[in-house]
Each structure stands twice: as C-alpha cells, then as structure tokens.
Structure 1
Amino acid sequence: MHAEPEINAFLKARRAALDPAGTGLPPGGTRRRVRGLRREEAARLAGISVEYYTRIEQGRGGNVSPEVLDSLARGLRLTVAEHGYLRNVAHRAAHGGAARRPVPEVPQVVRPGLRVVLDAMDGVAALVYGRAMDVLAWNRLGGQLGGDFARLPPEERNIARRMFLHPDAEATHPEAAQIRCEIVAVLRAEAGRTPDGERLCEVVGELRERSPEFARLWESQEVEEKAYGVKRVEHPEHGLLELHFQAMRLPPPDEELTLLLYAAEPDSPSQAALLALSGGTRPLADAVG
C-alpha cells in the first residue's frame, strides 16, 4: 500500500465527514463546492498554515511532529483509533511510503494455556482471532455461534470473509450491514499498523475484488476498533439471540491476538439458549495454530 495515497485519502475523507457548522468556524460567505471542510478550514482548526496542511495531506510534509499530528487530530475531531491511524500513515509518508511486496509472516499460534482458558469458559461464547481477523481458536459456544469453524478449512476461518462472502451472512446477522462497516474499519486500523502484512494484503485484496460492498466501504477510510456493544444472532434452533460482546487485544506475548467474548443478560431467553447450546454433546473445536 502507498503511504501517500493513504494519508491523502484519509485526511480528505475526514475533512469531508465534518459539518463546518459544528466546528465553531464562522459561516462562509460563498456557496460550498465540496462537502465538509476546505483545506484552509482544516488548517485553521489545527492551528497550522494552509501551505503546511496541504503538504501533509499530499504526503509531502516530511517528519511531522507528534504535536502537529495531535493538533490535526483535535481539529478534525478524530477518534482515538483514527488518531493512531493518522500517526501510522504520517510516519510512512515521512519515510518514503513506497509500495512494497507483502511481508511474509510466521503463522500465528495460540498458547495451550490460552486454549485451556477458552474451553473453561461456561455460558460465554469465546474466540481468538489474529491477523486480518483469522479465527485461530474458540470454545464450544464460540464455534457454534460462528458457524461451526471446525468444519471449515483454515483459510475460510475468517470473520471478514464470512461476513462478506458467505451466502448465509444476512440471515444469521440481522445487522449485517452495520457489522460489515465495523469489520472494514477494524481492517483499516490494522492496515495502519501493518500495511504490508502478507495475510492482511491477501484478505483485503480478495475482498476488494470479490465484494463490491467491501470495495466501497474500504474507500470510505473509516477507522475503528470497536471494543464492546450488542449484537443479534439468528440461531437455526434457538431463534434470535441478543448478546453483549467485548473485544480485547491481549497483552504480550499475545499482542497480535484479540479475544472476543459474547454473553447474554442474566435470566434472559438468550442466556437460556446459550446454556442449552453449552450443554450439547458436540466435542470442543480443535483450534488451529
């Protein structure tokens, strides 16, 4: 991925997403030709010159200081995830940002101790995913809610691929459109950290080619790492489940892994369904490394 188009497209998208009336800027005297903020308005909010802002947006700003990046983040009302992405792409722009071949990666593994923890979780659906949202391990409930990962070949045990390419995604996830937006934003955040990662490039490249919806969302430049919320899942036997989820990046030595947990409200129909599923006779999924 080129760093210059990254920072250029990202800052343009963030400018376009802002309503000038909500930024405290004085109303303009002429009719706007573009959506969102003009470059001079973004520069004013960041407290830098228009010329310097333009160079940054075009990837010609050199080694932009952390203080200036912080000012840009405040001026453009960036979230924490967006701020981190801006730092990453600005750093690459300052160091050439030339496109490179995907960097080969060592296969990710899940420690045996972490697998023991997953299997010991009762009444909670749990899974661990790694680069490009590849699912690496899961407990009984996690495998059942995720579509029986054990029956899938390793290359298809991927959250993004299943949501964009699996024909049953819409039927299983009532909020499929919103989930897809969130998935693309997570992958965009990962691209900020490791743009040349072999697996990320493979997954993003495949989805951009095979899914027009993914390609459109990818160009929107949304960046988010949603840590918690509520999702609804349509189970073929137990109907609609409403589940709280929590996504947590694990500490070293597992810092490239994310633990994703799903649980239901106490004494709810969804909790009863989870308990019924956890009491089944299906063997625990055999996680892959």
Structure 2
Amino acid sequence: MDNRDVVGAFLRSRRDRITPGQAGLPEYGRRRVSGLRRGEVAALAGVSVEYYTRLERGNLKGVSDSVLDALARALRLDDTERMYLYDLARAAGPAPGARAKQRAVGPTVRPSVARIVERMPELPAYVMNNRLDTLTANPLGRALYSQMYDDPTCGANVARFAFLNAAATRFYTDWERMARFAVGALRVEAGKNPYDRELSNLIGELSTRSDAFRVMWGSHDVYVFRDSTKRLHHPLVGDMELDQETMSLPDESGLSVVVYSAPPGTPAEDGLKLLAAWTATTGRERDTESPSKPSTRQP
C-alpha cells in the first residue's frame, strides 16, 4: 500500500495551521502560504530543505525516530498526532505478509469481558473495536443506542450511524464534535493498520455516501477515544449529559469497553433510571411473548 499521498497531505495540513509567530519565527516578506514555509519547518526540525521536501512528498521510508521526533516538535504535534506520524512511517516500511494484509477475521470478545459488560445493569456499556463496531452491549447500552441497533444498515457501527442515519443529528446534541471524533479515530486506525480491508471498505463507503464524512476526512485530524462528556437526546427520556469512559483491554485485540455514567442527583441519572425501567419492562414483555424461545437478538 502506497501511503505517500496520505503522508504528504498530513504534513501539509499540520504545517498550514502554524503561523511564524506561533513558532517563534520573525514574519518578513510577502507570504503566499497561511502557515509555515517548508524551509521554516526544515529549520525548526534541524534538517535540510531538500530532505524535508522529500518527507512532505510522502517518503518516510527509513526515517529515524530522532527525525520524526524533531518533525513532531517543529509541527507542534500532540501525542495522538505524533503516534499517527510514527504509524505512517511504519506503514512506509516493508509490506507485511499476505496474512497481515488481509486481516479478514477480527478479534472476538472474550466471554469474561462480555459477562462484565452484561452484569452492569445500571450503566450503558458495550465493547467496541478500532473500526467503531459495537461487538456486544448490555441491555441498557442497546436501549441507549436503540436507533442505531434498530437500523440494520448501520451494522452496529457508530460511524455509520453518525453519518448515514438522520436520527444521529438529533441523538448527538454536539453532532459535529462527535462526528469529527469518529473520523479522527478512524484515521488513527487507518495509519496503524493500512492493510485492514474492512476498515478500507468502511472508509470508502462513508466517503461515497456522506459529503460530511468526505470533508472531515480531508482535514487529516486524528483522535483517540478516552474520557469525554456526551450530550445526548434520547427519543424516550429526552436530554442527558453523560460521562463516557473508554477503557482499552490489556491485550493486542484493539478492543475497548465503553461505559456511560451520570453524576448522582442529576437529570441524566434520572434519565438512565427511567431508561433502565423501560428496558426491564420491555425485556419482560419479550420473555412473556416467547417464554420457550431464547433471545437471539444481536447488538
């Protein structure tokens, strides 16, 4: 996979956002660029203009860690952007074997992890992979994201829901912020696993079907889900402001457990209690309708 276009676009986008004043450089002469010139980045990174030009043309093959660190400092990259630059450099190296390129079978959720998620009855929780697929969820998690699970075209994927289901713009009160986070997370994963065919197919699908995704993807911003506050409008319980914690599993699966909670005594806590009561009621109704048939509904 040739990632030179991605490398060049990322470096240019980071260079364009920094003014000489921000970099501590004097501003002189008429400038034809909004940010730093190539020569200014080269000087800040301690490399020649010719060498930096080669990097910005997308050739990161064989670049040392010290040069990558200097480049990250010159472009004022944050920790996520620095990690992404290193991932792009690794992807520019020798191609992995055909097995690694395929990555056809994704990681599965360990039964012990699924039990932990299922037995948190008061908190919405689910397990998510790096492509933003929700692989399993507890009843309250499915109830919170009921509009996503009710739409089979979403495939229980948060990014598909955000960009392809009109209900998402009402569900996420800060839709644009959340959408940019989702795009940034997918770009991080694309840099880390450029041969992931399912990821490439997802990005291609979203780029084809959503103008908003295509524009945000072109910004080359990157993001890693950690902790955040989500402002949601659920069709049954109304507005809720929930704290989200994303905890990566300590293995090589790339899976994370996502849990939502609300501070005690807040309207959001009342909303979760109401949603839990509704979930328990509808669950009992399903059991009553089909007492001899176990549920086969998948998240």
Q: Which residue type is aligned with residue 19 of structure 1? A: T
**Deviation, structure 1 residue 230:** 0.8
Letter in 2 for 1:13: S
How far is 1:175 from its partner?
A: 0.7
- Please say if residues 189 and 225 of structure 1, whose CA atoms lie closer than 8 Å, have aligned partners that are also in contact: yes
Alignment RMSD: 2.3
| Other structure's SS at 2:239 match | strand
- TM-score normalised by length of structure 1: 0.91
Is residue 23 of structure 1 aligned with residue 26 of structure 2? no
Q: What does 1:1-289 align with in structure 2 at a 5 Å threshold? A: 2-27=2-27, 29-95=28-94, 103-147=102-146, 151-153=150-152, 156-252=155-251, 255-279=253-277, 280-283=280-283
1:160: Cα distance to partner?
0.2
Q: Deviations over 1:207-231 (max 9, x none)?
A: 0000011011111100111311111
Contact 2:41 2:75 in 1 (8 A): yes
Partner SS state of residue 267, structure 1: coil
Deviations 1:92-132 (A, max 9, x none): 334479xxx96241143211111110011132211111141
Question: More displaced, 161-170 or 84-93?
Answer: 84-93
Q: In 2, distance between residues paired with 1:154 and 1:250?
A: 28
Contact 2:127 2:137 in 1 (8 A): yes
Amino acid at match of 1:221: H
| TM superposition shift of 1:281 | 2.5
Query: Is this contact kept in 1: 2:87–2:192, CA < 8 A?
Result: yes
Change beyond 3 A, Cα 1:286–1:139: farther
Which stretch shows the higher mean deviation, 101-110 or 132-141? 101-110
**Letter in structure 2 aligned against 1:172:** F
**Greater than 6 Å deviation, 4+ residue runs:** 284-287
Distance in 2 between residues matched to 1:108 and 1:34, nearest whole Å: 45
**Letter in structure 2 aligned against 1:269:** P
The question of whether the paired residues in 2 share the 8 Å contact of 1:131 and 1:257 is answered with: yes
CA shift, 1:2, in A, is 2.7
Cα separation, 2, equivalents of 1:224 and 1:204: 16
Residue 21 of structure 1, CA deviation: 1.3
Gaps of 5+ in 1: none
Larger radius of gyration: 2
Pairs aligned (count): 284
Label 1:110 to 1:271 Cα distance change in 2 as closer, same or farther (>3 A).
same
Cα distance between partner residues in 2 of 1:80 and 1:286: 42
